[in-house]
Structure formats: C-alpha cells, structure tokens
C-alpha cells in the first residue's frame, strides 16, 4: 500500500503490527515526528554556505524519514544528499522502490549494521538521525563520530520511555548510566536523561552537545543536539548536568560535581532543552507546509512552553491530591496565575501540567482561591 506523508509517497507493507515482527518497519503514528524533523533540519539550511548538505539515516526501515529529507528539504544554494541504511534486506529493497516512486536522485542506500556505516564515515555528515527500536545508546558513539564536529546535528529518538521514565531502574543504568525519576513530569526528565547521556559520550571526543529542540510524544522522546567543537565546549555541556529529586512537584537540584546522593535521579541535563528561535521557526515552517495537525499542535504548545525556563512542570492534579482539593479547570489556574503577573504555559507532554515562574506555594494559593 502507498501512504503519503508531507510531499512524499511511501510504499509500506499491507499489514502492519508496528512491532519488530513486521517484514519492514513503518509506524504511521510517527508522521508527526518526521514532520517536525523535516522542519528542524530545514532551519539549518537557510544560512548554510557549502554546496552539499549530507544526512545519514542509518536505521531507515521503509525509508520514510530519509526519503522525506531528500524530497522535502529546500536548499537553494546547493543539494541535500541522504544516505539511508538498514540491516534488513527487505527494508533495503523497499527503500529502493520508494526512491523510484519519488523520482529521487539524491539518495544512496546501504545494507548493513548502522554502527559499521557510521564508523566508516568519520565526521562526514551534517545530520545523523538515530531512530532505532528502543534506545539509541548502542549507536551513540559511532553517531557522534560520524557527525561533523561544528554545527552538526545529532537527532535522537528513544522509544524505551518506560525505562527512561523510571518503571525499570536497572535498564536505565545500563543504557544511560543514570537513575530515572518516576515523577509526573518524567517524560521531560526522560529527555533530560537522554541528553545528559549523549553529552557524556560526546565529551570524551572533546565535543560539546547543545540541545536546540526536544519533545516527548506518544511512546517516544526526541531531541536534536548541536555539535560544538573543543574541550571547553564539552566542559560547558558537562557543567549543565546534575541530579534531581522530586518532592511533590518541587525539585531539589545538585550539580554533577557535587556527586550523587541516594534518592536523586540522574545525571541528567539541567539546562534549556530548546532554542526558542528555532522552536518558533519550526512551527512557522510546519504551518506554511500544512504538515499534520498533530505536529502543529505539539509545536504550538512548545512555542509557549519554551518561553519558561522551569525544570519539569507542576502537575495540577498531583498538587490538588496532595492538598486534598478537587482540581479546578486548568484555564482558571492559568488565568489566575497570569493575573498575579506570573508567566505560565501548558506543557506538550502532560495535559494536567503547567510550566510557570511561580513557586509551588503560589500555585497552591491559586488552587485554594479557585476552590473556595
């Protein structure tokens, strides 16, 4: 069967279970993820001066992601070239068919292990996009080595959110060398654990990583990390790591260099996980291209959310349950906080969550007033 995403046609297997058992993997629910990916990478091409912009999609599946990059990225001053790879021969066959279906001449296809193709291409790609089953950790070292060291982009998807969100502790230590946090905003903490781990892996190569865009949607988290060359940049990135303890929605923070203390989660990234300008531009591109409603909805909330630099969010239902009050409408809480001069936004990953520069005590005051 043929599906259409953005401007790209993709032949996918007629029957899909969305598990590893499928002949070739394609998940229609990830369309919004791919829409956003095209828009984030598009922001890089506006001021890019060289003639060739190289992208590697080493875990390609049906090729949906890489093909969309090859077909939909607009680059007036040069060409975008995409390398797509998969270990599954049936996937490689389908990717080749999909290249023909879209009349593309800017895609190369390979069959083999992702780590092999990445390792063979040292500092080659402007963008490396790791979109595996589960955790990207097994491909991180080679992914970082295959990315250019200055203003390269490492895109990471992790679908092992149960691990990152604290349902299972041991695999989180194994895959990310970090303790998870099982809080109401664990999806943001999951993004931060993933970024924190990537920063530690990159640091040994004297590369700093700076998050420019992140989101947690459905069963996955996704982040985009800019490469910055040099030991100083790597040190600066490490300085933004630390440990966090959640106490009923409030956060206690310790720096990486203070060391671990029992009951804390981490190491994880404590800095901003978005670049505001890029988030706004990504939204603009998604609207211009009329990409999926789901992508536009995520991006719309993110535009507000990234204006507030709060670690995690306040879960209004959790706070109400702690103070034994029934939860007032979210709109009432938001209005009342704004009336008091606080910044406030909904969060894209939790319908009961808000981000604000208000303290927990201010939020409680507003809830009490609204429930009087």
Ligand X SMILES: C[S@@+](CC[C@H](N)C(=O)[O-])C[C@H]1O[C@@H](n2cnc3c(N)ncnc32)[C@H](O)[C@@H]1O
Q: Which segments are annotated as binding site?
A: 34, 65, 86, 113-114
Residue whose beta carbon is closest to ligand X: 61
CB-based burial label for 40 (10 Å; 0-12, 13-18, 19+): buried
How is residue 68 annotated by DSSP? H
In the complex, least distance from residue 89 CB atom to ligand X, rounded to whole angstroms: 10
- Binding map of ligand X across residues 277-306, x = CB under 6 A, - = no contact: ------------------------------
Interaction of residue 120 with ligand X, rule CB under 6 A: no
Nearer Cβ to ligand X (131/305)? 131
- Of 5, 26, 109, 160, the one binding ligand X (CB under 6 A) is 26
In whole angstroms, what is the distance from residue 62 CA to residue 52 CA?
A: 24
In the complex, least distance from residue 22 CB atom to ligand X, rounded to whole angstroms: 9
Which part of the chain contacts ligand X (CB under 6 A), choosing from 55-63, 75-83, 232-240, 271-279? 55-63
Interaction of residue 328 with ligand X, rule CB under 6 A: no
How is residue 225 annotated by DSSP? E
In the complex, least distance from residue 247 CB atom to ligand X, rounded to whole angstroms: 36
Nearer Cβ to ligand X (30/164)? 30
80 contacts: CB under 8 Å, gap ≥ 6: 45, 52, 53, 55, 69, 70, 73, 106
Q: Residue 123, SS3?
A: coil
Residue 218 Cα to chain centre, angstroms: 12
Interaction of residue 5 with ligand X, rule CB under 6 A: no
Q: At 352, give phi and psi (nearest 5°).
A: -100, 5
Nearer Cβ to ligand X (59/186)? 59
Q: How many residues bind ligand X (CB under 6 A)?
A: 20
Token pair 């879960």 in the structure block, residue: 315
Interaction of residue 114 with ligand X, rule CB under 6 A: yes
Nearer Cβ to ligand X (136/271)? 136
Q: Which residues are annotated as a binding site for S-adenosyl-L-methionine?
A: 34, 65, 86, 113-114
**What number of other Cβ atoms are within 10 A of residue 96's Cβ?**
14
How is residue 326 annotated by DSSP? P
**What number of other Cβ atoms are within 10 A of residue 163's Cβ?**
23
Tokens of 135: 């955790």
**DSSP for 353-368, written as a single string:** EEEESS-HHHHHHHHH
Interaction of residue 131 with ligand X, rule CB under 6 A: yes
Which part of the chain contacts ligand X (CB under 6 A), choosing from 26-34, 240-248, 335-343, 354-362? 26-34
Residue 351 Cα to chain centre, angstroms: 19
- Binding map of ligand X across residues 56-95, x = CB under 6 A, - = no contact: ---xxxx-xx-------------------xxxx--x----
In whole angstroms, what is the distance from residue 326 CA to residue 311 CA?
A: 25
State the residues that interact with ligand X by CB under 6 A.
25-26, 30, 34, 59-62, 64-65, 85-88, 91, 113-114, 131-133
């Amino acid at each position: 069967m043929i599906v259409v995403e953005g401007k790209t046609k993709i032949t996918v297997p007629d029957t899909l279970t969305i598990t590893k058992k499928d002949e070739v993997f394609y998940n229609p629910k990830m369309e919004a993820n791919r829409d956003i990916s095209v828009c984030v990478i598009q922001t890089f091409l506006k001021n890019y001066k060289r003639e060739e912009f190289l992208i590697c999609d080493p875990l390609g599946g049906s090729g949906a992601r890489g093909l969309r990059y090859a077909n939909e990225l607009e680059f007036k001053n040069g060409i975008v070239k995409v390398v797509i790879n998969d270990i599954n021969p049936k996937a490689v066959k389908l990717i080749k068919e999909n290249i023909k279906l879209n009349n593309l001449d800017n895609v190369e296809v390979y069959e083999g292990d992702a780590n092999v193709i990445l390792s063979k291409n040292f500092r080659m790609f402007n963008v490396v996009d790791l979109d595996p089953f589960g955790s990207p950790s097994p491909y991180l070292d080679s992914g970082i080595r295959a990315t250019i060291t200055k203003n390269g982009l490492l895109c990471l998807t992790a679908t092992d959110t149960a691990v990152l969100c604290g349902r299972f502790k041991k695999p989180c230590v194994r895959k990310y060398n970090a303790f998870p946090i099982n809080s109401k905003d664990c999806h943001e903490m999951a993004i931060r654990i993933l970024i924190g781990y990537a920063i530690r892996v990159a640091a040994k190569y004297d590369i700093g990583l700076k998050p420019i865009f992140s989101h947690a949607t459905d069963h996955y988290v996704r982040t985009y990390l800019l490469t910055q060359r040099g030991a100083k940049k790597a040190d600066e990135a490490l300085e933004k790591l630390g440990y966090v303890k959640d106490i009923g929605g409030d956060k206690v923070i310790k720096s990486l260099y203070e060391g671990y203390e029992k009951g804390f989660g981490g190491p994880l990234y404590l800095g901003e996980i978005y670049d505001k300008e890029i988030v706004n531009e990504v939204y603009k591109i998604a609207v211009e291209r009329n990409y999926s409603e789901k992508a536009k909805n995520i991006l719309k909330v993110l535009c507000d959310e990234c204006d507030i630099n709060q670690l995690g969010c306040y879960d209004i239902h959790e706070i109400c349950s702690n103070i034994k009050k029934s939860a007032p409408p979210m709109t009432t809480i938001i209005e009342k906080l704004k009336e008091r001069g606080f910044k406030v936004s909904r969060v894209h990953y939790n319908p009961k969550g808000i981000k604000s520069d208000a303290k927990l005590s201010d939020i409680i005051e507003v809830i009490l007033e609204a429930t009087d």
